[in-house]
Structure 1
């Protein structure tokens, strides 16, 4: 769960507490995160979110005009978090092998978060809503672009093959991370990240002149 949302939990059990608008919004988002992650969009109720946040429904509606707007606000936060994780993985080192491992690790860390934010981004039951799908696509495209830039610069590839490699890395990382979680973490996260990043590195580094360097 993001730090902003966590901070909003202070005083959550006191309906009468008056919080600054930003703190109240974070509190409501934290409550909504729990409900959406547990129930999905369609089964989630604004009544339950308000109750979990310890506020009245009118207070909830002061901040979010409807359930869709609340859901989208959360989704955008988590999409931005994923983009930041992958971008940092690419920019935190010049060692390409480490970059691949970090990129894989970014997805494993994302799905392993206590807030289950990944459910909104990867398993949304509202993908049929164009504005929701656009937000999810924005996250995927931004992660692919961050990896594509690195591969293009270091391997001297044209954009199309570099992008295809980036799409492959994003795809294998996301699917493997979710499978690891669904199978109750039968190996440690470090072991799983190492296994998948080795596979990805041998494919990317073996097929193109993307060298490990510092």
Structure 2
């Protein structure tokens, strides 16, 4: 055992499993964001987390398992934001910008998080593709439920509108961030929301005020 490994082992503190897992995911995020999946090394992730490799492998059997767990956590966060936006008000005119804003805030937050979902270079891996697909499908499901309930549309028509809102929000947010636009986040959300609201809100008004 090297001196560095011995030092790491001595300074490790026993944490509850959930806390240790969160710590390892945070370290993995830094390494994946800096190096990409293929160049990331489990040794470096363990070092960033301040644990030994055996501790890392106790939680994640391999690098792909760690990547997928991290990806799933980002998907959960995005879907949580979308659902929170939908639940934040009963006023559909406010729900649209809240939902659009959820995508903008996610994209404008941890750049590594949104890139892992929307720009993953591992989509050939079935488990990765499944997680990436869930980011869209779960968001669409949440919006479909709201439109079906509030606008009186059947599920097929509500889902088509939901897909449109998710696609508009996601692509607009990524374009805004990638082009370092002079448009503020607030104005960008307002512009995107206006486009969505005039189509959804004006065309399919609230049925049960």
Q: Does 1:113 align with 2:119?
A: no
1:34 to 19, 30, 43: 30
- Residue of structure 2 in register with 1:17 after alignment: 12
1:82 to 70, 78, 84: 78
Q: Equivalent residues in 2 for 1:180-199 (5 A)?
A: 180-199=176-195
CA distance in 1, matches of 2:125, 2:82: 26
CA distance in 1, matches of 2:204, 2:51: 57
- Residue of structure 2 in register with 1:200 after alignment: 196
Describe the SS at the equivalent of 1:116. helix
Describe the SS at the equivalent of 2:174. helix
- Residue of structure 2 in register with 1:143 after alignment: 139
CA distance in 1, matches of 2:52, 2:150: 55
Q: Does 1:210 align with 2:185?
A: no
Query: Which structure has the greater CA radius of gyration?
Result: 2
Normalising to structure 1: TM-score of the pair? Answer: 0.87
The answer (yes or no) to whether the contact 2:100–2:192 under 8 Å persists in 1 is: yes
CA distance in 2, matches of 1:186, 1:43: 34
- Residue of structure 1 in register with 2:175 after alignment: 179
Determine which structure has the larger helix proportion and give its number. 2
CA distance in 2, matches of 1:81, 1:189: 20
| 1:26 Cα deviation after fit | 1.6
Aligned length: 201
| 1:67 Cα deviation after fit | 0.4
Unaligned runs of 5+ in 1: 1-12
Unaligned runs of 5+ in 2: 1-6
CA distance in 1, matches of 2:77, 2:133: 14
Normalising to structure 2: TM-score of the pair? Answer: 0.89
Q: Relative to structure 1, is the Cα distance of residues 70 and 195 closer, same or farther in structure 2, using a 3 angstrom cutoff?
A: same
